[in-house]
Structure 1
Amino acid sequence: MKALILVGGVGSRLRPITHTSAKQLIPVANIPVLSYVLNSIKEAGISEVGMVVGATATEIRAAVGDGAQFGLNVTYLQQDAPRGLADAVLISRDFLGDDDFVMYLGDNYVVDGIVDFVEDFRRDKAAAQVMLARVDDPRRFGVAELDVDGRVTAVVEKPQDPRSDLAIVGVYAFSPLVHEAVAGIKPSWRDELEITDAVQWLVDQGHRVGSTVIDRYWKDIAGVDDVLEMNRHVLETVEGRVDGEVDEASELVGRVVVEAGAKVTGSRIVGPAVIGPDTVVQDSYVGPFTSIDGNCRITHSEIQYSIVLRGASIEGVARVEDSVIGRETEVNAAPRTSTAHRLVLGDHSRVRVGC
Structure 2
Amino acid sequence: MNKRIAHILLFLFVAGFSYGQSFNVWSYNYQNIYTYDGATNVDGFTLRFSFWGWILYVPNWKLSVQLTAPIQAGDGTVFPSEKISFVPTRTEGQAWPGPIPTVSQIGMPSPVPLIGTSEVFLVPSSNAPLYQLSLLPRSYELKMIFNLVVAGGAYLSPLQEKIFPFTLRFTAYRQDNSVIGVLDINYTIQVHRLSGEYSIRISTEAANGLLEFNTAADYINGKSVTYTDGLAVSAFTAYQVTVRSISAFFSSSAGDTLPLDIVRLQLSGGSGITTPVTLSSAAKTILQGLSTGGIAETYDITYYTEPNDLRLFNVPSEQYETSLMYEISPQ
Pairwise TM-score range, normalised by the shorter structure: under 0.3
Which structure's residues are more often strand, by fraction? 2
Q: TM-score, normalised by structure 2?
A: 0.26
Which structure's residues are more often helix, by fraction? 1
State which structure, 1 or 2, has the greater radius of gyration over its C-alpha atoms.
Answer: 2
Tell me: higher relative CO, structure 1 or 2? Use CA pairs within 8 A at least 6 residues apart. 2
